[in-house]
């Protein structure tokens, strides 16, 4: 048995790291420090099934409370680390408590970008959607017939729009870019998703930003938009991206660059400190990226656990993501950063399609809209390094299995 592992962050990555170490029969003392007042839980269902009332919170917990005692994992809730003393190998929490570590893992996640107070971001009725507290507050707002403005046409904003329409609200989405999903998906995918929302009476206004939120008695009541129009609203959801929680690492003198810089073994610039999940900037295909996904949080954390337990296998991710909107499942394999061409393929059944991304002729990603076959095929092609014949891919009558050789 070796010295204590302290895990800062009780989200998906932090929990996965502790659970994997115990699965590997590693018996070192483990302490998880979490800022929320509840046990670690799944976040994706929070703003979907939980917000819709289709799933109780206890079903979101990774493990029941007794699991932590049964596995000798100490968990400190409603606690956050304010300082890391690397020389003494001590973390200092907000109440002044000190905890020694031999190994430290930062699983600090990310924080949604908020609106500045200067444009009304501090008004009541303005929300982000990240944790249980946010979801509980939004649940009280989402009543049929009310008007919600969603700022941001990325996946966060569109998923929020789908839930709000399901609850019978009047929904307006504004996107200051030329189109929705501009930073994360091709035009073809955006065009498909736009129609899906408009068919359900969501108003999507592209090339339209927020000028100012208008308050009445301290609560948001209207929004002045960049095109000069004003719309009445009952509340606002802000979905304009996230920023990595790397400030603690930066103050401790660790290397940061839009995230905590790690090597392929998840080690930071201090070999006694690891970083995993949304907060980590990792090497991938000659680049440095952050992967904001459940898949990466789990896979990278489990790879780091194996390293901490004595292994030496580098983490080489095969990224995949998903987004559920209404009855539409968008599955994404690969990472489309830097694509220079795309190919749209019609699916084998109504409402299904896929968008294939290429860079310098090589397949790098696929978006599959209600098309599990395209997703599975694309994922296998990416994992094996095979490049599909574009002529076969473009023919909707062709068998995708033939691309796998």
Q: Who wins on pLDDT, 53 or 128?
A: 128
Q: Is the pLDDT of residue 67 over 80?
A: yes
The 10 Å CB-count burial string (b at 16+, else e) for 80-97 is bbeebeeeebebebeeee
Q: What is the pLDDT of residue 193?
A: 98
Structural domain boundaries in the chain? 5-111+242-308, 117-238, 327-404
* Each residue's pLDDT tens digit, 220-259: 999 999 999 999 999 999 999 999 999 999 999 999 999 9
Structure tokens at 212: 């100012």
For residues 261 and 293, what is the distance between their CA atoms, to the nearest angstrom? 17
Q: Of the given ranges (42-46, 90-94, 179-183, 221-225), which has the lowest mean pLDDT?
A: 42-46
CATH topology of domain 5-111+242-308: FAD/NAD(P)-binding domain (3.50.50)
Q: Is 5 helix (H, G, I), strand (E, B) or coil?
A: strand
* Each residue's pLDDT tens digit, 160-204: 999 999 999 999 999 999 999 999 999 999 999 999 999 999 999
DSSP tag of 66: H
CATH topology of domain 327-404: Enolase-like; domain 1 (3.30.390)
DSSP 254-296: --BSSSEE--TTSB-SSTTEEE-GGGEEEEETTEEE---SHHH
Stretch 81-97: mean pLDDT: 97
CATH code for 117-238?
A: 3.50.50.60
Q: Is the pLDDT of residue 295 over 90?
A: yes
**Chain centre distance of CA 77:** 22
Judged on CB neighbours under 10 Å (0-12, 13-18, 19+), 396 is: exposed
Q: What is the pLDDT of residue 48?
A: 86
What mean pLDDT value characterizes the chain? 96
Q: What is the pLDDT of residue 53?
A: 87
Structure tokens at 333: 């394999």
Structure tokens at 286: 């000659």
Structure tokens at 195: 């129609």
Q: What is the pLDDT of residue 1?
A: 55
Asked whether this chain's domains 117-238 and 327-404 adopt the same fold, the reply is: no
Contact at 8 Å (CB) between 302 and 17? yes
* CB neighbour list of residue 25: distance below 8 Å, 6 or more residues apart: none
Q: What is the pLDDT of residue 165?
A: 97
For residues 269 and 345, what is the distance between their CA atoms, to the nearest angstrom? 44
Q: Is the pLDDT of residue 2 over 80?
A: no
DSSP tag of 102: S
């Amino acid at each position: 048995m070796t010295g204590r592992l302290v895990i800062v962050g009780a989200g998906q990555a932090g929990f996965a790291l502790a659970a994997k170490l115990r699965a590997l029969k590693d018996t070192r003392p483990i302490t998880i420090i979490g800022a929320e007042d509840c046990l670690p839980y799944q976040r994706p269902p929070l703003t979907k099934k939980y917000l819709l009332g289709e799933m109780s919170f206890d079903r979101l917990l990774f493990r029941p409370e007794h699991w932590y005692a049964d596995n000798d994992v100490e968990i400190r809730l409603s606690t956050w680390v304010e300082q890391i003393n690397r020389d003494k190998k001590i973390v200092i929490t907000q109440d002044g408590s000190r905890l020694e570590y031999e190994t430290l893992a930062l699983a600090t996640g990310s924080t949604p970008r908020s609106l500045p107070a200067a444009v009304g971001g501090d008004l009541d009725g303005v929300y982000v959607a990240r944790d249980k507290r946010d979801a509980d507050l939004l649940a009280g707002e989402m009543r049929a017939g009310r008007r919600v403005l969603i700022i941001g046409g990325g996946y966060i904003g569109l998923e929020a729009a789908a839930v709000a329409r399901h609850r019978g609200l009047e929904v307006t989405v504004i996107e200051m870019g030329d189109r929705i999903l501009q930073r994360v998906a091709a035009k073809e995918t955006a065009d498909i998703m736009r129609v899906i929302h408009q068919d359900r009476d969501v108003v999507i206004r592209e090339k339209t930003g927020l000028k100012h939120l208008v308050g009445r008695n301290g609560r948001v009541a209207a929004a002045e938009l960049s095109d000069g129009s004003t719309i009445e609203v009952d509340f606002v959801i802000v979905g304009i991206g996230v920023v990595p929680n790397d400030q603690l690492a930066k103050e401790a003198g660790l290397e940061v660059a839009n995230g905590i810089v790690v090597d392929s073994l998840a080690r930071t610039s201090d070999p006694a400190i690891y970083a995993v999940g949304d907060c980590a900037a990792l090497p991938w295909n000659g680049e440095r990226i952050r992967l904001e996904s459940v898949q990466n949080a789990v896979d990278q954390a489990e790879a780091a656990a194996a390293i901490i337990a004595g292994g030496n296998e580098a983490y080489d991710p095969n990224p995949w993501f998903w987004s559920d909107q209404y009855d539409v499942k968008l599955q994404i394999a690969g990472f489309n950063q830097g694509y220079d061409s795309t190919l749209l393929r019609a699916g084998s059944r109504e409402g299904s399609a896929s968008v294939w991304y290429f860079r310098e002729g090589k397949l790098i990603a696929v978006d599959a809209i209600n098309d599990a076959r395209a997703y599975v095929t694309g994922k296998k092609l990416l994992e094996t390094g095979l490049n599909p014949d574009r002529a076969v891919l473009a023919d909707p009558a062709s068998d995708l299995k033939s691309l796998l050789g």
